[in-house]
A and B are shown apart, each in its own frame.
Chain A
Amino acid sequence: MKVLVTGASGLLGREVAALLVRRGHAVATFQRRPSRVDGAEDRCGSLTDDAAVRDAVRDMAAVVHLAAKVSFTGRAADFDEVNVQGTRRLLDAAREAGVRDLVYVSSPSVANTGAAIAGQGAEPADPGHAHGNYARTKARAELLALAADAQDFRTTAVRPHVVWGPGDTQLVERVLERAARGRLPLLDAGAALIDTTFIDNAAAAIVVALDRMGHVHGKALVVTNGEPRPVGELLAGICAAGGVPAPSWSVPGRLARSAGSVVERAWLRFGRQEEPPMTAFLAEQLSTAHWFDQRETRRLLDWTPEVSLDEGLARLAGYYQPGSTAGPRRT
């Protein structure tokens, strides 16, 4: 089957593309820079470019759409253009091109209003209440994608929660970098229960969703390891794997949340490009529970995660082992 993977230059997109290749699919990727996934054809371009998008979906039987503007900060219009309009463009082009199935890779934050999530399933995306530009635009795009579901053009939304693993720059690298500088606080003593998704499991769930389209089309599924942990322990595990000391100090979550938004605003005003040290979104992610009911997901996908949390941490440790060939280049 010919499958297009958008956003294959990111951690998860690359893993999905590689997995599809391993499973014998003919894989093309679409993003601004070449993905260089072995065995995949790169079709470079931007989601903001109609023609490029139409070119990308030509001859495809299925699309896995991961490309998005992913950031804790940035201008609202930029998020809209890439995440919402880009998805609309892709949906239209795919349908016209006769693509049969589309997996929209989403995020549980599309349904997260800031309250703790303890064992809920996949609630409907709610752009009106989602926090921040990323979640809001991902929510709108998910609604577009699911609304497009039809007999001859099946769509589903897969929402992996906090994807991490070797090579992850979003969470792991940031945690390690901050912990190394002593700038990663344990919010509320790190008690919030968080479920995460090891990279291999997230990629597998997305690929399985393509196989199980008959069961999952029209639906949104949250995907996790199904192993919630207190965030403090999780961060300590990542730090241990990365060989840096674990955070040891704690600030109250509410304080950190308000401090986070102040810092975020100041950062934006002064036009800083790198990530601020603590954004409100990150503070919220690390200080309130985020774990999910995985029964429906596993039933519909007829799948369980292969890599446990502990095994994932062990693989991460291997990755950071001095002398590891796969490991990051560190200076």
Chain B
Amino acid sequence: MTAAWPGVDAEWSRRIEVPSTAAADPAGTVRRWHVLDNGPQLERLGLAPAGTLLCVHGNPTWSYLWRSFLAAGTDPVHPWRVVAVDQLDMGFSERTGVFRRLADRIRDLGDLTDALGLHGPVVTAGHDWGGVISLGWALAHQHQLAGVVLTNTAVHQPGSSRIPAALRLALHPAVHKWGTTTSDAFLRVTHSLASPPLPADIRDAYMAPYRGASRREGVGNFVADIPVDASHPSHPELARVAEGLRGLDVPVLMLWGPRDPIFSDRYLKDLIQRIPAAKVHRYEGAGHLLAEDRDIAPAVFDWLTANIAGSGAGTDGTGAAGSAGTQGTGQGHPVPAAQDPFRPLWALLGELSAGPSGTGTAISEMAPDGSAGRSLTWAELEKNVADVSAGLAGMGVGSGSRVSLMVPPGVDLTVALYACLRLGAVVVVADAGLGTRGLSRAVKGATPDVLVGIDRALAAARALGWAARLVSVHDLPAARRRILGVETSLTALARAGARSGHRTADGPDPDQPAAVLFTSGSTGPAKGVVYTHRQLAAMRDTVAETFGIHPGDRLVAGFAPFALLGPALGAVSVTPAMDVTAPRTLTARALARAAAAVDATVVFASPAALRNVLATQDGLTTGDAAALSRVELLLSAGAPVPEPLLAGVQRMLPRASLHTPYGMTEALPVTDISLEQIRAAGTGNVAGAGNGVCVGLPVHGARVAILPLAADGTVPGDGNSPGAEPVTAPCVTGEILVSAPHVKDSYDRLWLTQQASAATAGWHRTGDVGHFDAEGRLWVEGRLAHIVTAPGSVVTPVGPEQAIESLDSVRMAAVVGVGPVGTQAVVAVVETVPAVRKAGPADPHLAARVRAAAAAAGVSVAAVLVVPAQPTDIRHNAKIDRTRLSLWAAKVLAGGRPGTP
């Protein structure tokens, strides 16, 4: 029989007679169970298991779901006994002919483990409704329980919400019997949720125990036992389990496939709230049958090894347990022991509002017509923040609540942001720069409790199904409010807060999460990055110290992330008239007007914005030019800024020192370099100078190191393996590591990603590749994921790209690899001036020039392709999607039609 179950070792399949104590069965009943159990095999092989992993399937699968766990448990590296059960009436266990409710099934599982006589620590693993049953067993066997693994399950139906549409359909009287029992529709639909689709032999194995309506009664009963509301007979048992979880004090791992029509992110959120210390990983793109969509066994066994006593290593490797709700791992950065006393991000707000500058402007925004728009004094800003904070508290927002802010930079965003932070709520900042799909994925994954947004965001929330309470910025007409499903507005919250006069006494715990920011998504789905209050405050201090921005400075906030730091730095900030999410919309005129409005000393602007500022500088008046000439400092971050662009900017801002810090969403900023230093880096004869973009020296408080690349272009999995020590010596290329008080706490609900990024103890692994020169300057050579492994050489893209971009006919170049790792052909994809109309191979003349330029940088190029425009990210309009390009190039160079990349 096991021959028809691909991936199952015949030795695992066993049957066992179990005396039943379930209420559904008469006393003295004995039930026949089928389980997959690698215990006898381990014994035969002489392997001593660290414990037992008790795996419970849901409906309508069977123990087959866990076959990869059984195989992993038999691996001599980490032997675990894995017992995957077929629940009664399911799989190949007995058809009892009795309707078994949740309480019976929890009892059944206990009966089985009694009969098996499990010794030593037990970790439960559950999927779908098997999750609830496994948790019921866990609560009843806490003396044995060592850990809990959950995949796509739920323990609670939030009172206000309905059960998922797909389940409503399955439960509908007209459909239920036919859909679940008479036909195999429920089975087939469930199997079809796998992505990629299940191979035919695997699908057959899942179907095997359920051929014939009589074999499927359990499937129908299972569905009928779902407690849809409080009147359902199984509801009390479900509520008991759900509440019991709050007292669980064992390590918990939650692995989730977010593309699940039933067990969506809201159930994950509910579970996280019950077990805040759980490690959580969402596999973006995976669905309900997670164990089929992804190979999750390695993650589970790594977690077992690190977290369950008796299974070897014993410790997590990454240090302290996570902070609530975030899977934080407390990076364990080598931060100085004597920390400065914590000053929250908003500390200067209070001081300045109470002092002599209280009546001075704190923040203002420019109207689209170029005139001065709204502005608040420090005292008004402080009061507004306090009022909105009180208003939010009044609607139930508190410590740990997640509030998504979808408001363009300016007065409203600043007020909302500081109000949330002060309350201990976690702000979720996902911007339109992620694109609609990326944004929606980010918001759904972060599961905000409240969404504060402009009209467009509120409409999107409705249309894209973001489950959150909605708050508009301004008061909306009643009809509009109803249509959008909006509960209240920031204005109304401020009014209510002012009336209540409520003021939060203590600030939030500095080590609790404060914000979730999103990566740009240019290297895969955007990742949420969690910062604690202490880390945000450290970011402020780093910016203040590195760039000398202090109270009294006036800054033009043309770049979203730093725009929010103005009040924290005690600087007056003004938002120019532009769409901050589309940096290219900043004109020279708008910049000058904003600068004039506050007599600016500092300008923050992205490289793309600077490009447009230069392109539109002809419209400047003498007055505009004068305002710009008083600027002392310009910061431009987000992407490398070419020297010619900076030179142009320097002519517009003749007195300003121009700085282009390097950093990433996980660490802002890491290093800094000025225009003078960029020019100096291009000259002289410093060992290691070249092959990349010089990004200068580490910023205040930051340490940078290199984890050397192996000969095959990879970096070792953890910094503790031999030959993988972080180094600071010049001329060694490897992954760039950063350690600083302002490095992120963790990735949000991406435990595996977090583990990987923190695998070198004490460091954040950036995924960037680079090296130091002899003067300690860092040179960035590209992304680790974009390394090309040609035969006998590892090619990092940035060096040859710069060489190619030095050709006058090339605007933007990307170097990618095609073919198998280790023997890739190097391909240069170039966007030319003027742009070509059709993508395809470059003409031989251009190809020869590009090849010669790359050869001068030490790289031999196999093919040169031209594209009308490089595919870049939306946020920075600068990061080329090299992964996409290399797939496209591989297709074209295999002889396919070019099309567009």
Contact = CB atoms under 8 A, between A and B. Distances in A.
A126 interface: no
B823 interface: yes
A236 to B, nearest CB: 4
B894 A233 contact: no
B862 A228 contact: yes
B contact residues, range: 20 to 34
Contacts of B890: 118
B862 A192 contact: no
The A contact surface, by secondary structure, is: mixed
A174 interface: no
B147 interface: no
A236 B892 contact: no
Contacts of A86: none
A246 B841 CA distance: 15
Given A233-B847, A294-B791, A190 B823 contact: no
Contacts of B898: 189, 191
B844 interface: yes
A237 B897 contact: no
B844 A191 contact: no
B840 A193 contact: no
A188 B840 CA distance: 9
B863 A230 contact: yes
Contacts of B820: 118-120, 293
A312 B830 CA distance: 27
Interface string B828-841: 00000000000011
Given A236-B844, A289-B893, A229 B819 contact: no
B895 A232 contact: no
Given A118-B890, A233-B841, A192 B895 contact: yes
Contacts of B862: 193, 227-229, 291
B865 interface: yes
Interface of B: 791-792, 818-820, 822-825, 840-841, 844, 847, 860, 862-865, 890, 892-898
Given A119-B819, A191-B898, A228-B862, A291 B825 contact: yes
A193 B791 contact: no
B405 to A, nearest CB: 47
Nearest to B860: A227
Contact of A188 (B847, B865, B895): B895
B841 A119 contact: no
Nearest to B790: A226
A288 interface: yes
A202 B890 CA distance: 27
B823 A119 contact: yes
Contact of B825 (A116, A193, A237, A246): A193
Contact of A233 (B791, B844, B860, B897): B844
Given A119-B824, A120-B820, A291-B819, A253 B895 contact: yes
Contacts of A119: 818-820, 823-825
A243 to B, nearest CB: 15
A189 B818 contact: no
Contacts of B819: 118-119, 291
A295 B863 contact: no
Contacts of B847: 230, 233
A196 to B, nearest CB: 12
Interface in A100-130: 116, 118-120
Contacts of A189: 840-841, 898
Interface in A262-308: 287-289, 291, 293-295
B897 A252 contact: yes
Nearest to B862: A228
Contacts of B824: 119
Contacts of A294: 791, 823
Contacts of A236: 844
B187 to A, nearest CB: 37
Contacts of A190: 841
Contacts of A191: 840-841, 863, 865, 892-893, 895, 898
A295 B893 contact: no
Contacts of A252: 897
A266 to B, nearest CB: 25
Contacts of A233: 841, 844, 847, 863
Given A118-B818, A118-B819, A295-B823, 7 more contacts: A116-B895, A119-B818, A119-B825, A191-B863, A191-B892, A193-B825, A253-B895
Nearest to B892: A191
B823 A289 contact: no
B863 A229 contact: yes
Interface residues of A, number: 31
A233 B847 CA distance: 8
A240 B841 CA distance: 18
Interface string A171-211: 00000000000000001111111000000000000000000
Contacts of A188: 895-897
B896 to A, nearest CB: 8
A237 B820 CA distance: 27
Nearest to A294: B791
B844 A232 contact: yes
28 contacts: A118-B818, A118-B894, A119-B818, A119-B820, A119-B823, A119-B825, A188-B897, A189-B840, A191-B840, A191-B895, A192-B895, A193-B862, A227-B862, A228-B862, A228-B863, A230-B841, A230-B847, A232-B841, A233-B847, A233-B863, A237-B844, A240-B844, A253-B895, A287-B895, A289-B895, A291-B862, A293-B791, A295-B792
Contacts of B840: 189, 191
A189 B841 CA distance: 7
A192 to B, nearest CB: 4
Interface string A242-256: 000010000011000
Nearest to B825: A228
A305 B823 CA distance: 16
A285 B778 CA distance: 46
A232 B848 CA distance: 13
A152 to B, nearest CB: 35
Nearest to A240: B844
B893 A230 contact: yes
A287 B819 CA distance: 17
A291 B827 CA distance: 14
B823 A293 contact: yes
Nearest to B827: A193
A192 B897 contact: no
Which 5 pairs of residues, A with B, have the shortest CB-CB distance? A119-B819, A116-B894, A288-B895, A192-B895, A193-B893
B863 A193 contact: yes
A120 to B, nearest CB: 7
B28 to A, nearest CB: 65
**By CB atoms of chain B within 10 A, which of A116, A188, A191, A232 has the most?**
A191
Given A119-B819, A119-B823, A192 B844 contact: no
A193 B894 contact: yes
Nearest to B820: A119
B825 to A, nearest CB: 5
Contacts of A192: 893-895
A237 B844 CA distance: 8
B888 to A, nearest CB: 11
Contacts of B892: 191
Contacts of A253: 895
Given A193-B862, A295-B822, A289 B841 contact: no
Contact of B893 (A118, A187, A240): A118
Contacts of A230: 841, 847, 863-864, 893
Nearest to A120: B820
A236 B207 CA distance: 59
